[in-house]
Amino acid sequence: MKAAVVFQKGELPKYVTDFVEPIVQNENELLISVKASAVKNLDKLRASGKHYSLQNFDKPIVVGGDGVGLLEDGTRVYAMGVSGMIAEMAIVEKSRVVKLPENINNAIASALPNAVMGSALALRFRASLEKGQTVLVNGATGVTGKIAVQLAKYYGAKKVIATGRNEQSLQELLMLGADEIISVKQDDESFISQIKKSHKQNPIDVVIDYLWGHSAELILSSLKGNGDFSHRTRFVTVGGMTGDIITLSSSILRGTDIQISGSGLGSWTREEVKLLFAEILPEIFQLAADNKLKIETVNAELKDIEKVWGMNIDGGKRLVIEI
């Protein structure tokens, strides 16, 4: 079969026309004819062998963790792969399959789930977002950040503050539900001043953070209490796009009612993952089908995988390989 295959750790995927077709191993698996699979940072890290969820790399692997395709009976579904999904055929888990609405296209359906995992699970299960609360999305100009802004409003946030570097994307976020935008390109003092001003006007209940690094340090400093009673803020880290390590003063935690947690592979419970496939993704797919949730894609063909794998995609768009 045709597939995108990494033969050695650190190499780019290669377009292969005669890779061995995967075989169903047990009653919990299904064979799927893949039609589209999104290329995500997670896929690139796993292909390079650098992601914490993939320790061994002792044989060629097909890249791609999830995608859209047809079951043997013709049902069109989104599914998470047991085998790599950027290929003509793949094995998926029965419990991680979602039937798609008729009026959602393959590219959108394949691009959404990773962003939903990185936003909806953080908002619902780690942040426990309640209606009427204020949310700050740090790094909102990326694909997942844009979905987080939209879902925060959908889940009932009264105010959504979006931070990011790309000025054009920040302006676009105002049309996607953001109430206030803050550039992380400005000097530290100005950035902190804006966060403090927003926090004073509408106390920040939830921070969904995709950047970590220096901007996270500044936000945490901005929320620091002065020894009096402080507002409770749940700070959820979902990514580390600008650095995996920060300096955190003990006084921030001692002087502020702040809770720091993470959302990602390994932190979710089995029950939360079940709800993702049983309730959250079906609802999100329908929102997108009804044009109430926006995500942009850049589409390419499988045969061009070597050209597009490392392509610099405009901020806020997801690369999708169509098969």
| List of residues 6+ apart from 208 with CB closer than 8 A | 119, 122, 123, 127, 135, 136, 137, 138, 148, 152, 236, 238
Q: At 51, is the pLDDT very low, low, confident or very high (cuts 50, 70, 90)?
A: low
Q: Write phi, then psi, for 286 (nearest 5 degrees).
A: -70, -40
Give the Cα separation of 269 and 204 in Å (integer): 26
Q: Model pTM?
A: 0.93
Sign of the C-alpha dihedral, residues 197, 201, 205, 208? negative
Residue 91, classed as helix, strand or coil, is strand
Q: Is-contact 91 22, C-beta < 8 A?
A: yes
pLDDT value of residue 10: 78
Question: What are the structural domains, with CATH classification, of the chain?
Answer: 3-116+269-322 (3.90.180.10), 119-262 (3.40.50.720)
| pLDDT at position 229 over 90 | no
Q: At 13, is the pLDDT very low, low, confident or very high (cuts 50, 70, 90)?
A: very high
Give the pLDDT confidence of 250-274 residue by residue, as tens digits: 999 999 999 999 999 899 999 999 9
- For residue 147, give the nearest of 121, 129, 168 by alpha carbon: 121
